[in-house]
Structure 1
């Protein structure tokens, strides 16, 4: 990412194993994430891209190993450190990879990475069963939140976005109601849907410069919970803290899911058919079209949700 919103492929030195417990990983299929856009857009001072950034949701093969967890040729889901996954091959700790389940198609198995981050976040909340939940943002993460909340027994799953094409997908992923925030008053609609009580839980799944944290504060009920999932800027101005303070509500952030519990559980959900992730997979493009892939994803063109990128094999 050599300039804002510009990607090019360059030659770099081959990486090799340097210590015990490492793998040399060769990506085969990756998908773009909203946090990759922090580097792609180039105007976040805290996320200035370096060579190798930014990809981090990927599956591929172990080429070589100095550990005991895998053997050469194993297919795994791998999450590089700090998004340094934009390489033909790269060195990484074997602890940052899990086996790829052979039962689902590979594009569905890949979605275990974002789904694992969602399951980790949901574990921080009180029991979901019979709760009214609002999910602000219906990009890939918001859609997967709807699906996970359905599995966990939420009563109302209220999907909120400004794009109709995304809200049309939400009921397929588990939403019981949808709200277009540009045309409807979200406070009035959530009050109507919940019978006046407002949401027990509100999930912020937008993040970045477009974060909707103040909307979360307005939609949560007294004593409720807000899960701030979307990656925020380093500093956020004009946060209405008194609103959430007076509601005696709790705020949870979420980062750093477990490779021993969360990602494997997400893989099981997908492999066992407990969740259908197919509606969020909208595009699949070759590596030599990586610029177009980022443009489509970043501009939310062509009803894009998850945009996948095939590496040469």
Structure 2
């Protein structure tokens, strides 16, 4: 089968590999569509990893995958069923993928797979959103309006926030977010972030602020714009082990800072299943995050687009088969 992997910094190449036959309790997935996460770009594609790390394992980096069960040795899934898969090793860039049955979530028979794949992305955000408490009538500011940030904005709107403020340096993303949940937009290149938040909130600042950029300076910006006794949700993964942090500013706010990482839980698929159900009911549609469709044979181009912060790009769906 054909597989792709990162072979050096910013270079993805295809090679061939054997299909791994499923054992009891496993299924062989025929991969149909994959998508790229910003974390894959920042922490692996863009990063200058130690030379000994290359090439990365086959299929890496990619963890957003949907397809059909091709061969089943599971009592839970039948051959031909459509599923969302969460690889344990971020190795989704391959034509076939063998996983334990507990790494699959059943999908409806209807609807394009290139839209259903977005539920993985947004499901991780749904998990994080459960930590911010009641948002009815509150002001929520989301730093970063990529796929993760817009997902936060969509969920905040769905849960009754009175103001949802999208913050990003990419104006096209702010424009897209304004149609998907944000009530206000701020581009820090064009206006002062702290002054803008103060103006929107009549000096109160934001009740809840989400860090969804993964950039080292993001966390400090969140503390700058959260109100006293407010809440900061840390979601974005940085490329650095340690980042500069203004502790005095943090202490002066008496705010609560909450970390969140669904992959570190005992039930990493729970909220992804819930997001699929929410989409089925028409309450939220992560499929609208998709701005580009490409063949996975153009995976190098797709990663390059993400890396360059291309205008108009939020999420790319790559068709595998």
Q: Shorter chain as normaliser: what TM range?
A: over 0.9
Aligned residue for 1:31? Answer: 35
* Unaligned 5+ runs, structure 2: 1-5
SS at match of 1:309: strand
Distance 2:200 2:236 in 1: 24
Distance 1:137 1:195 in 2: 22
For the Cα contact (< 8 Å) 2:9–2:49, is it kept in 1?
no
SS at match of 1:135: strand
Aligned residue for 2:129? Answer: 122
- Is 2:179 aligned against 1:164? no
Aligned residue for 1:298? Answer: 307
How many positions carry a matched residue from both structures? 310
Q: How does 1:77-92 map to 2 (within 5 A)?
A: 77-92=84-99
Which consecutive segments of 4 or more residues in structure 1 shift more than 6 A?
none
Cα deviation for residue 234 of structure 1 reads 4.5
Aligned residue for 1:9? Answer: 14
Q: How does 1:62-77 map to 2 (within 5 A)?
A: 62-77=69-84
Match of 1:248 among 239, 249, 254: 254
* Unaligned 5+ runs, structure 1: none
- What do residues 271-295 of structure 1 show as CA deviations (whole Å, max 9, x unaligned)? 2221233542111111211111111
- Measured on the aligned residues, the alpha-carbon RMSD in Å equals 1.9
Distance 1:206 1:47 in 2: 25
Aligned residue for 1:238? Answer: 244
SS at match of 1:82: coil
- Is 2:280 aligned against 1:277? no
Q: How does the TM-score come out when normalised to structure 2?
A: 0.91
Match of 2:150 among 125, 135, 143: 143
For the Cα contact (< 8 Å) 2:34–2:92, is it kept in 1?
no
Match of 1:224 among 226, 230, 244: 230
For the Cα contact (< 8 Å) 2:172–2:311, is it kept in 1?
no
Distance 1:302 1:247 in 2: 35
Q: 1:97 to 1:44 in 2, by over 3 A?
A: same
For the Cα contact (< 8 Å) 2:60–2:91, is it kept in 1?
yes
Distance 1:31 1:260 in 2: 17
Distance 1:9 1:236 in 2: 34
Aligned residue for 2:3? Answer: none
